[in-house]
Amino acid sequence: MASTPVITDMKVIPVAGYDSMLLTLSGCHAPYFTRNIVVLTDSSGHQGVGEIHGGEYTRQSLESFRPFVLGHEISRYRRVLQEIHHHFRAAADDDGEGIQTLDISKLKYVVKSEWAVECAMLDLLGQYLNVPMAELLGEGVQRDSVDMLGYMFFVADRHKCPGGEFQYLDESASGDPWFRFRRNECLTPERIVEQARLLHGKYGFENFKLKGGVLHGEVEMDCVRAVKEAFPNARVNIDPNGAWSLDEAVRLCRDMHGIATYIEDPCGPESGFSGREIMREFKDATGFQVATNMIATDWRQFYHTVSLHACDIILADPHFWGFGGSIRLSQTLDSWHLTWGVHSNNHFDITLAAFAQVGCAAPGKPTPLDTHWIWQDGQNLLYDAPEIRGGQLRLPDKPGLGVTLNMEAVMKANALYNSLPTHDRDDAAAMQYLIPNWKFDHKRPALVR
């Protein structure tokens, strides 16, 4: 006889939401982003949910897991994951490099589809035991809330796109000042400061990170200085995704002590050396703490990163590492006097709830967590979406993931997904309306052509 409920149904629902014309080293976000939702139902009638990377590769991977999930007890989620891993075979074009050079086409290999199943099963197990998911991770709940940061972006002029499949959402009639702002051009230090002020006003952020790799490094550093001047007590950081050469990164950052708190992935592979080796040289030259979500995205990469003392802060997105793996890494980092955090891609509120769970289960003092949620706020797939208040995300007061799925909203997002001409991320397409024949170059900022 089963000791805990068994999984009786598994749904994989691809969904899409709206995005702004956000600029990064890889190009420009399209008007839409995609995700995959896993919905598990158990024999007690409870529903567990998980959210993961979008696109057909991930959807097909999730569909292939069905035989390993259905009929299994929710308490045996580790065995389910073990079976998936036992039968998993790497894709033919997965060379193991990960995203050291921010090749977006390889992101689907760094994100592991099975972690959406893990999340949904932990949600069910938490509901069965009447405890939050965080209580099932590591040594359990460490705090009731976790600090978040205001994730700032340069934004291109959406009016330069012709419409059609590149019709960006217009929120100019919104009564919310942040919603009105986030869809419009933002390319100067003055506008970046305005962005920071609006994020502080709406969400209470006391910490900020600017996505770099877009303009000349000097301009981006002027933006960091301007935000620090406007918020002198804030932790202000920049992430150029390895766009700068080692020499440029050292030149740009050497005199930024007291302004930037840490630098995330300032440089990457060059001259035959890996990103890990180059980042260690940057640390030696500048004395800056360094964060990454590019050079340590699995345990093997992590081993080489720490062996070289190449990084101080590992942004361990649970969609890269798994929920158990992310917390196991946080325990390791804490015992070694290093720092844990979370990286983010565009996501719905299910992922925001998941970030609350891992953030409240991680030991030590996590760095403020990333989230793109502020750019998707208002597109809820949940009846009870978590909220960021005072710069913090609170642990939900209900068991499991602590949220309730709004299936009407989910199916509306699924209809949007099915209406799109493509479901895989392509940051070059919108860029070519800004710069004809634009091509990605991991050593040239997006607008420097």
Beta-ladder partners of 392: 147, 389
Q: In this structure, what are the phi and psi dihedrals at residue 156, rounded to the nearest 5 degrees?
A: -85, 170
Q: Residue 198 corresponds to which tokens in the numbers above?
A: 């609006």
**Does residue 145 contact residue 395 with C-beta atoms inside 8 Å?**
yes
Residue 53, H or E segment: strand 47-53
Of 182, 194, 243, which Cα lies nearest the Cα of 218? 243
Closest CA to 171 of 414, 389, 376: 376
- 56-64 vs 114-129: helix crossing angle, rounded to 10: 60
The CA angle 337-340-342, to the nearest 5 degrees, is 170
* Catalytic-role residue among 106, 343, 372, 423: 343
Cβ atoms of residues 125 and 136 within 8 Å: yes
Q: Which helix (H) or strand (E) holds 40?
A: strand 32-42
Give the number of residues written for the chain. 449
* Count of CA atoms in the C-beta half-sphere (13 A) of 14: 22
User: Residue 7's CB: how many other CB atoms inside 10 A?
Assistant: 24
Q: Which of 72, 211, 372, 423 is catalytic?
A: 211
Catalytic residue status for 343: yes
Question: Rounded to an integer, what distance in angstroms lies between the CA atom of residue 66 and that of residue 68?
Answer: 5
- Strand stretches in 124-222, DSSP E: 145-147, 150-152, 154-155, 207-211
**Residues identified as active-site:** 211, 343
